[in-house]
Amino acid sequence: MNLSKKLNGLVSGDASAVFKGMATLALGSGGARLIGIAAIPILTRLYSPEDFGVLAVFAALVAIVAPLLTLRYVLALPLPRRDGTALNLLALAIGLMLAGTVLTIVIFGVFGRELLSALSMEALIPWWWLIGVGVLAASSYELMTYWATRRRAYKIIAKTNVWQSASGSIVKVGLGMVSLAPLGLLLGDVIAKGGGLARLIREFIADLKRMPRFVSWYRVRKIGHAYRDFPYFRVPSQFLMVFSQQTPLLFSAAVYGAETTGQLSLALMALALPVTLIGGTMGKALYAEAASIGMRQSEKIYKITKDVQRKLFIFAVPVGILLYVSGGQAFVLLFGDEWQQAGMYASILSVYIVFQFTSGPLIHLLNLVVNQVSFLVINIIRPLLLIVLFSAVYFGGLGDYVFLVSYSLLMASFYLFVSAFVLLSVRRSVNDRVT
């Protein structure tokens, strides 16, 4: 079988529509990720590991807070059949986002010094206000991309991804060249989170102009009640999920210091590229396709999901093995001798990244099977496991390598469980409809 036939086999079958949507996103955003990859070797020579440590904590705080602003109503935007219902949902999400941004600024304005000092991040104190800007940029972009997902406007999302990466990298490199550290990394990160927002607004301005005709306080309250499972279950789930994802960096900052945190952040940044490029785009495409099919055809969704999972494993396992074997040498070659420790970290973490890559696209399907309680339980299990791990590491006085090996194995097991659980949930919905 020649290469072209193999490639055709990967994008054919039950998951073909998902892979076509993913390909549109991946091809467009692939250029963005290449820009990001090309910028990293430059950034590691302009900024110190300590600067990357400050960026890691800043990005972790934004990542934890930003998704909470809309109370996760944003996730429901692709679901309503009628645009009028979806526009009321959009109005609700926008109002919550603006109110949440104000609250974030007030909290960090009053308590920011104490919070950042507890994380050994005094260097971030002068720039506390950027946290408010960052959460607004990130949540606004997320909101508009879910509206674009509703429209299946994959090309527009991909183009904004390119703009985000390019503009963010340019700012980081430019300010780094004039020695504005760590401010250059922080401003570049904000732009990378919110860049392209204007393009999305301009693209869907016709939809936004229709809001006064459809939106009313009564309808907003009604739609908020109809999708109340999202704030009831997805808000705590989202907080626990993102907090768990960012905990290694926050734990490292508090226990091992800024330099180790910077090394770890670079390792995670490099490992996140395939997860966000392919896994993230696959998740959006799979969710949009499954939502358009509807749970009345749950058996078709189940077949698509199995096909997607199998093909993700085919891609991820060889890449994970290569990274495990050569991660240390690759980091020295790409980023310089100062970052050898980050390469060793990346080799250790590659074990769990394979399973995160394959399970991430599937988790959104729990929205369709209305399994919010299960999603919450999943995200309660992970932080509980991490609390046990971190307690053992902290009170046992264990070093950073033992910590990361334990963390990688624990997360690999967790993500494997998540994949199996989602497939079982979708399969159960098929059986329920048959009976």
Contact 131, 108 (CB under 8 A): yes
CB 58 within 8 A of CB 251: no
pLDDT value of residue 385: 92
Residues in the chain: 435
Per-residue model confidence (pLDDT) at position 389 = 94
* Confidence band of 58 (pLDDT split at 50, 70, 90): very high
pLDDT band at residue 112, thresholds of 50, 70 and 90? confident
Task: Tell me, rounded to whole angstroms, the distance of Cα 213 from its chain centroid.
Answer: 34
Per DSSP, the three-state class of 179 is coil
Backbone angles phi, psi at 45, to 5 degrees: -100, -10
CA 427 to chain centre: 26
Average pLDDT over residues 356-381: 74
For 195-215, the pLDDT digits (tens) are 888 889 988 998 888 888 898
Which range among 12-21, 94-103, 257-266 shows the weakest confidence by mean pLDDT? 12-21
pTM to 2 decimals? 0.74
Q: Provide the pLDDT for residue 89.
A: 93
Per-domain boundaries in the chain: 3-434
Identify the pLDDT of residue 277.
Answer: 61
Tokens of 182: 């760590």
Mean pLDDT of the chain: 82
Q: Residue type for 193, please? A: K
Q: Which residues contact 209 (CB under 8 A, 6 or more apart)?
A: none
Average pLDDT over residues 66-94: 90
User: Residue 345's closest CA among 79, 353, 211?
Assistant: 353
Alpha carbons 229 and 242: distance in angstroms, whole number: 19
Give the Cα separation of 209 and 205 in Å (integer): 6
What are 213-241's pLDDT values in tens digits? 898 899 999 999 998 888 887 788 778 87
Three-class SS state of 368: coil
Report the alpha-carbon distance of residue 399 to residue 396 in Å, rounded.
9
